[in-house]
Structures are given as structure tokens and as C-alpha cells.
Amino acid sequence: MIKSAYSFATNKEKIENHIIVVWVDNETGVLARVVGLFSGRGYNIDSLAVAMVDKKKNVSRITITTSGTPQVLQQIKLQLGKLVPVHKVADFSRNKKTLIREMVLLKIVSSKNQLNKAKKLCDKYKCILLDKTEKYFVLEVSALEKEIDILIKKLQPLGLVSVSRTGVVAMTKGEEIFKQT
Amino acid sequence: MANLMTGAEIIFKVLEDQGVKHIFGYPGGAVLPIYDELKNHKKIKHILVRHEQGAGHAAEGYARSSGKPGVMLVTSGPGATNAVTALTDAYMDSIPLVCISGQVPTHLIGTDAFQECDTTGITRPCTKHNWLVKDIKKLSLILHKAFEVATTGRPGPVLIDIPKDIQFQKGKYLKPKELKNNNIKTNISFNSQDEDINKAIELIKKSNRPIFYTGGGVINSGPKATQLLRKLISLTGFPITSTLQGLGAYPGNDLQFLGMLGMHGTYEANNAMHDCDLMINVGARFDDRITGKIDEFSPKSKKIHIDIDPSSINKTVKVDLALVGDVKFVLEHLILVLEKKYPNFENSNKQKISAWWSQIEKWRKKNSLGFKNSKQVIKPQFAVQRLYELTKAQDTFITTEVGQHQMWAAQHYKFDKPNRWMTSGGLGTMGYGLPAAIGVQVANPEKLVIDIAGEASVLMTMQEMSTAIQYKLPIKIFILNNEYMGMVRQWQELLHEKNYSESYTAALPDFVKLAEAYGCVGIRANNPDELDEKIVQMLSINKPVIFDCVVDKTENCYPMILSGKPHNQMVLGKQDEDDEISEDGKVLV
């Protein structure tokens, strides 16, 4: 056994993937505070989406997908809640009650045949053809992040040259909105 | 618009309205307008330190000994970066600190101007919150909010970065009552969670082997929390142990007190923590120096956790019942319900926990803080014991540096009041004690203030002796001088095959001459016979004193929980430690 002034990492709990939504004052440095909390405490950020959602109240909504043990996920929520500009923190579970979406822009440069193949693959997700010439397409797709992962993999041999993803956003189903408990 | 004030004037107005009497600081280019304004505010005394880290620790000592927020004022760039250690220290130990830093003028921010640094960026992870003030209209509002953030909920440091042009600009001053509550995370007041309180009382009622484990949260909650804690301990008849930061909340000499727990805690405290069936954590945070190996930490107990910070709950140790709230409110409710439901609980419950108490007495008989004294050389433990005996009659304030001397002070100096013990626990900042003592003495001018120090630590902020001289602060620096970074040396002896890599300090200064050079008094004690007489001499001097107590160079701090070991496998002394290394089976259980 290595001798140390600190204890050793021991049993690992199961890692879960969650969507954390944070409402914050839209002020200088607020994103740095949120992101810094994650990096400083060794939490993961798998994707991040942020924009102002209420101009009057000056509130931004940050959506973070993260993974960790239940204990770590609980810490993430509580630590976020302590930040002064944070209004509320929600944990959207990945189940039927939550609508989860991510948008992606895909640029494909290829032959006509390949382009049509690519378009067909994307049609499954009600894609929008944003721009095209004979040699290229730009497609917009909105889907679950895993679906986008698969789509990208399938498009790669068809001449996919550029990908831009927004990060996951989420919303609860039903008439209620999330209230801080 | 009438009554327009400059930014600098607004700063002082806020300080006055917040009741600030002292600020610790160091001038520089980016704070000159504030320093210029100082002369117009006789109610606020500025203490000029010799390094901004010193200002921070002094403000911490001030805050911890007075219960009021400490205020520091530093310039931009190096002034702010020098403050970072103290800010981080205050963050780790939950000390309310308000740091005002100067910044280059707004139009120069981002241009790598002279003495510019990204102060809010650098201090973001080591403050509760920080602000860069870019609009004079927001200055008073932000400053008042800063005080509120620092002092409410779990206290901590805040920083307000004020560009020089803002200090010159004129704006309106807003009084606190005019301020809107702009999403401040205010004091989480305990709204009588009756069900949980009842659950706690039932757990207390059911327990055969209970223990209270109390921490700095009790002290931070104020004098009332201390009173209530003492009442609850007496009402239950339960044993109590304390963390390093919690010392003083409960009288150190009381029979129900098992001493400090943790890595260098007593045998009885750690074993009781391990074997208990109910642990009641009051304002402590299951720090890794306390828990040792998490998997084997108090395996058989139900755990109740009282804490003002919800993120402290289940952070490292899972608890069965969480009572989130200010310690004094929670204790008040617990006492109310306990007295109502089970009047005369202590007597009726005595029988039930008597076996537990006899077990604790058995552990106590090990006398784990015992040491082999010497007639030739001063043992550091003996030095602390003598210091305690010779100062216990007065209301004494103790600060420490970090290392062996800190643990010996915690073990052998018995505190019976809160706010008398100032030590860097979370961050473990060497160099904390001397400037902290300055802050304590400023807040408590007539009281005896002693920094129990190590010679290595104290040299890190020794320049602050000059501050003590300037303001006639008669602090006593009691150095346990073993010429080693003692705790480093101890770890190297125990864990790194006695390879004492760089832990010996050659070319130490002559501390007596050093004291004289600063214009204070130096005293040296070389052997046990002269120790008492020299300590008495130190106490009689109404000036700062550096006391060079030459102690055993190789003494180790025991008892001790080695890395990765649970609480019931303590090493009690040299003999054990040899066994520990050679053979697992001989480890004390």
C-alpha cells in the first residue's frame, strides 16, 4: 500500500447521466461561475446550452448535461444553488416527462447520389434543407443527442465536412413549470 | 441632484453604516483615491500591514475573535494576488471577510495595464461571491450586498473590485433600507421542521451509544449557539467531541468532553466516533482529517447532521437525518421538544448509556495525549501545557500557525469559551497565526493574545511584527522551535523511510535578536527548568514578544490515525508506530 497523508479512492457508485437546468441573472461572469464550479470540483460537463430567456427579468437559462454518481449529482445541484446569481436549479430526469432536444447543422459536400442518400437519412428527423448547390447541402436536424450521434456516424462516409451542435436543451411536459422546492 | 458623493466617499459611507471600526490594508496606485479619503473618517482605523496576505489573516483573526466581518483593502494586481491565500483560507474555514481591491481604470481593463490582473477571475473560486464595479450607480448597493453575502448563511469571504475611475466618479449613495433584496442567498432560517426534529429526538431517545460531534458551525452561529449546545449536552448527558475549529464551544475541561477528534484527536473521541450508534453532527462537515477512511467511518451509527449549508449534507458521508438550518435555531428546537417530550431525560436515560460511558472511560484511561517528559530538553507538549497553566486564569486568545505545534496546541490548551481559538484548519496556511494574532489584538485590545507558532510557519509572515510594533499590539509569539518543518518531518519519518528531504531549516535567524531588530522583546527558553519563569516574564511585558522555545527536535505528534485507517486503529506513540510499520496484526484496535 502506498503511504499518503490522504485517504485512497474507494468503491465507485454507478454513474448516471442527468440534465441540469439553471436559471441565472444574466450578468458578467455568471457562466464562468457555473462552469468554474464544475471544473473546480471535478464534475463533468457533457454539453452546455445557454441563452437569455427573459429580457425583462434579465434571466438566462443554462442547460447542462452531466454525468456522475448520485452523490455527485446531488452536490452539483446544491453547489449551484449556493451561487449568488443563481435563481433556481432543476434536475430533469431522462424519462417520458421530459422533452429533450438538440439541434445540429450538418454540411455535406459530395456527389448528387451521396447527397440524396444523406438527405434521406436526415428526413427521419424532419430535417430542413437550409442551403444547397449541386455539390453540397446544409441540413438542420433537431433530435435527441444520441440520435444525432448516430446520424453523424452514418453521414461521415457520405461527405460530412462540418458539424455544429447547440447542446442539449430540455423542458418538462405538461402545463406546470418547474418550481424550486 | 444633491448629495452626490465620490466613489471613495461612498465606500467609507458604507463602511460606517456597516459599523466597521477597523480595516486592514496596504496602499497602492489603484486605491489611492480611497486612501486619500481615509483622513476624513476618524471612526475607521486603518491598520497598515506589511504584506496583503497579512491583511487578510489579520482580518480573519479580527472576524473570528469578534464575530464581526473582517475588512481588508488592497491595491490592484499584486495587492489582489497577495490576498488570494487569505481569501481561500477564509473560504475554507467559513470566515466573513470583505475584501475591497482597487483595479485599473475601466478604460484600461483588458489592456494588460500596469498592475492589472483579472482579480474577479482569480478570486472567483475562493470567494462566496465577487463583483467588478463598472458603474458608480451600483457601488453602494454592491458594497452593502457584499457585507450581507459575507455574513449570512454559511459565512465566507467576498471581494469587490473597484476601478480607479469609479473611485473618483460621483454618484448617489443608497442606504441599506433603500436597497432591494436582489436575490441574496439570505440566512436560511430554520422553519420548525417538526417532523424531523421529532425524528431526531426519537433517535436520541433510542440510542445506547450516542455522541455529539461539533464543529466551527457552532462558533459561527454565535454565543447563543454555544449556550444552547452546553444546555443540550447537559440535558442529554451524552459525550461530546469537537473538531479543530469547534474548540471552545464546549469547555475543554468538562468530563463529558472527550477532546478533539480526527487525525490527531484523542483515543476516546475517535473510538467513540467509531463505535457509536448515534452520531449528532452539529455544524461540522465530515472533513477528511476527521473521517479517515470513509468506508469504515463510524459503520454502526445513525447519523444526524445539523448544518446551515445544504451542500454539506451527504457531501462525503451519507447521513440518516439532515437538519438544515442555523445551529442556534435547530438546537433551540431540539431542546424545546426534548424538554417537552422527555422531561428529566438525563436522569431517566442515565442507566441506558452507562455501559457506553464505562467503555469511554476505559478508552480514556489510555491517556492518549500522554507523553514522556524530559528533564534535559523541553518537550513541545509540556511547553503548551505550561503555557496553558500559566495563562488559564486570564481570558486568553490563542492563534496558531500550521503543523505539529498547531496540533499540540489543540490537544493541550483547553478552551472554555468560543472565539478564543483561531487556527487555519481547512486550508492549513502556514503563516496564518502571527497576522491573525494582530487582528485578534486589534479587536480585543486589553486581552492576552498568543500565537502558538512553529519556527518555519512564523517566518512566512514574520514581517507583520513590524505592524504589531507600529500599533503597539502586545501579541506574544510563542515559537516551538525544533528547527524542522515538524509535521513534514513526521510524515517523512513515518511514511517516507526517514528521508528528511528539505524539511530541516538551516540558517534560522536568532529569534531573540530578530525581536530586538523589530523593536520588541525576545526571550529564549532552552530547558524545562527555566520555562515557567520565562513564560511569566513574557506575560509581564506589555509589548510584543517573540518567545523562542527550544524544544525536542524529533518529537512526533500523537495519537495519530495513519492514512487509510479507520478511527479505531490509532497509533498512540513511538512503540505502536514501529509495530504499525512492521506488522498489521499489532495495530491497536
| Partner residues linked to B504 by β-bridges | B484
Q: Please check whether residue B288 touches A, CB under 8 A.
A: yes
**Identified catalytic residue from B21, B45, B68, B115:** B115
Catalytic-residue membership of B115: yes
Residues of A in contact with B92 (CB under 8 A): none
Burial of B368 (0-12, 13-18, 19+ CB in 10 A): buried
How high is the pLDDT of residue B3?
A: 81
d(CA A21, CA A178): 10
Question: Using the 8-state DSSP alphabet, how is residue B343 labeled?
Answer: T
**Identified catalytic residue from B13, B128, B164, B379:** B164
Nearest to B555 by CA among B489, B459, B477: B489
Closest CB to B293 among A7, A29, A75: A7
Mean pLDDT of B440-445: 98
- Taking a contact as any Cβ pair under 8 Å apart, which residues of chain B between 70 and 129 contact chain A? 120-121, 124-125, 128-129
How high is the pLDDT of residue A8?
A: 66
Nearest to B442 by CA among B72, B8, B14: B72
**In chain A, whose CA is at the least distance from the CA of B296?**
A10
Cell of A52: 437569455
The per-residue pLDDT for range A37-63, each reduced to its tens digit, is 999 999 999 999 999 999 999 999 999
The per-residue pLDDT for range B481-539, each reduced to its tens digit, is 999 999 999 999 998 999 999 999 999 999 999 999 999 999 999 999 999 999 999 99
How high is the pLDDT of residue A10?
A: 62
Residue pair B227/B248 in contact by the 8 Å Cβ criterion: no
In A55-159, the DSSP E strands lie at 59-68, 86-92, 98-109, 128-132, 136-143
Mean pLDDT of A102-125: 95
Residues of A in contact with B128 (CB under 8 A): 82, 84
Cell of B363: 478508552
The phi and psi torsions of A170 (rounded to 5 degrees) equal: -145, 160
Q: To which H or E segment does residue A165 belong?
A: strand A160-165
d(CA A31, CA A40): 14
Q: Please check whether residue A71 touches B, CB under 8 A.
A: yes
Burial of B334 (0-12, 13-18, 19+ CB in 10 A): buried
How high is the pLDDT of residue B580?
A: 45
Instruction: List, in order, residues 6 or more apart from B178 with CB less than 8 Å away.
Output: none
d(CA B387, CA B28): 40
Instruction: List, in order, residues 6 or more apart from B417 with CB less than 8 Å away.
Output: B226, B248, B395
* Of B35-44, B183-192, B385-394, B404-413, minimum mean pLDDT range: B183-192
Taking CB atoms and an 8 Å limit, are B564 and A25 in contact across chains? Answer: no
The per-residue pLDDT for range B365-382, each reduced to its tens digit, is 999 999 999 999 999 999
Residue pair B104/B129 in contact by the 8 Å Cβ criterion: no
Taking CB atoms and an 8 Å limit, are B495 and A7 in contact across chains? Answer: no
Q: Please check whether residue B300 touches A, CB under 8 A.
A: no
Alpha helices (H) in B312-379, listed in sequence order:
327-341, 345-350, 354-364
Instruction: List, in order, residues 6 or more apart from B267 with CB less than 8 Å away.
Output: B363, B364, B366, B368, B559, B570, B572
pLDDT score of B158 more than 90: yes
How high is the pLDDT of residue B292?
A: 85
| Partner residues linked to B257 by β-bridges | B240
Mean pLDDT of B237-264: 97
H, E, C per residue of B287-308: CHHHHCCHHHCCCCCEEEEEEC
DSSP B179-229: ----S----------HHHHHHHHHHHHH-SSEEEEE-HHHHHT-HHHHHHH
The per-residue pLDDT for range A129-160, each reduced to its tens digit, is 999 999 999 999 999 999 999 999 999 999 99
Nearest to B140 by CA among B37, B4, B16, B7: B7
pLDDT score of B183 more than 50: no
The mean predicted confidence, pLDDT, of chain A is: 92
Mean pLDDT of B332-340: 95
The per-residue pLDDT for range B62-114, each reduced to its tens digit, is 999 999 999 999 999 999 999 999 999 999 999 999 999 999 999 999 999 99
| Partner residues linked to B45 by β-bridges | B22
d(CA A85, CA B149): 12
pLDDT score of A3 more than 80: no
Question: Using the 8-state DSSP alphabet, how is residue B503 labeled?
Answer: -
Closest CB to A3 among B149, B313, B495: B495
How high is the pLDDT of residue B365?
A: 96
Catalytic-residue membership of B478: no
From residue A171, how far is each of A26, A48, A98, B3, B247 by CA, in Å? 20, 15, 6, 49, 48
Q: Please check whether residue B445 touches A, CB under 8 A.
A: no
Residues of B in contact with A83 (CB under 8 A): 129
How high is the pLDDT of residue A11?
A: 60
Residues of A in contact with B129 (CB under 8 A): 83-84
Q: Please check whether residue B296 touches A, CB under 8 A.
A: no
* Of A10-24, B283-297, B334-348, B572-586, minimum mean pLDDT range: B572-586
d(CA B98, CA B571): 42
Q: Please check whether residue B309 touches A, CB under 8 A.
A: yes
The vertex-B579 CA angle with B576 and B580, nearest 5°, equals 85
pLDDT score of B579 more than 50: no
d(CA B562, CA B584): 12
Closest CB to A4 among B125, B183, B563: B563
How high is the pLDDT of residue B193?
A: 62
pLDDT score of B562 more than 90: no
The per-residue pLDDT for range B379-418, each reduced to its tens digit, is 999 999 999 999 999 999 999 999 999 999 999 999 999 9
Model confidence band, residue B185 (pLDDT cutoffs 50, 70, 90): very low
Cell of B20: 466597521
Model confidence band, residue B175 (pLDDT cutoffs 50, 70, 90): confident
Give the global pTM. Answer: 0.93
Residues of B in contact with A5 (CB under 8 A): 491, 495, 563
* Of A3-7, B95-99, B445-449, minimum mean pLDDT range: A3-7
Mean pLDDT of B319-347: 95
How high is the pLDDT of residue B565?
A: 84
* Helix, coil or strand: residue B164: helix
Q: Please check whether residue A59 touches B, CB under 8 A.
A: no
DSSP B93-125: TT--EEEEEEE--GGGTTTT-TT---HHHHHGG
Q: Which of B152, B183, B291 to mutate to test the interface with A (most CBs of A within 10 A)?
A: B183
How high is the pLDDT of residue B295?
A: 87
Q: Which of B134, B185, B297 to mutate to test the interface with A (most CBs of A within 10 A)?
A: B185
Distance (Å) from the alpha carbon of A165 to chain B's nearest alpha carbon = 28
Mean pLDDT of A10-34: 90
Residue pair B170/B6 in contact by the 8 Å Cβ criterion: yes
How high is the pLDDT of residue A12?
A: 72
How far from the centroid of its chain's Cα atoms is residue B136's Cα?
A: 35
pLDDT score of B181 more than 60: no
Catalytic-residue membership of B169: no
* Of B293-302, B461-470, B477-486, minimum mean pLDDT range: B293-302
How high is the pLDDT of residue B232?
A: 98
Find out whether the peptide bond into B559 is cis, omega within 30 degrees of 0.
yes
Residue pair B47/B23 in contact by the 8 Å Cβ criterion: yes
